[in-house]
Amino acid sequence: MLAFISDTGIVVAVIAFVALFGASHIPKLARNLGEAGKEFRKARTEFEGVEPKTAPSAVAIPSAVPDDRITLTRSQLDELLASRTERADSAS
């Protein structure tokens, strides 16, 4: 398709482009277009290289957390909730 555009067609397109946007806005427009292309390529490579994230088996305790917190795995938490539910049902 670009093979059908002649040299005069390119010159006319450049003149129309300058008339529409003004000579001072063209560098800004080109810079923004370049940055957008770079961000698009970055997002595409990140998307292609991303593997599905799995939940960690245990929650890490940050150093600023008080010592009275306990870290449990998902299976330990399920067992604890089941035992508490059993105790509550047997008490009633």
| pLDDT per residue as tens digits for the range 81-92 | 999 999 888 887
Q: What is the dihedral of CA 19, 20, 23, 28, to 10 degrees?
A: -170
Domain boundaries, the chain: 2-49, 55-92
**Does the pLDDT value for residue 36 go beyond 80?**
yes
pTM for the full predicted model: 0.37
| pLDDT per residue as tens digits for the range 38-77 | 999 888 888 877 665 565 555 555 555 556 667 788 898 8
Q: For residue 73, give the 3-state DSSP assignment.
A: strand
> Which residues does 26 contact at the CB level (< 8 Å), separation at least 6?
17, 18
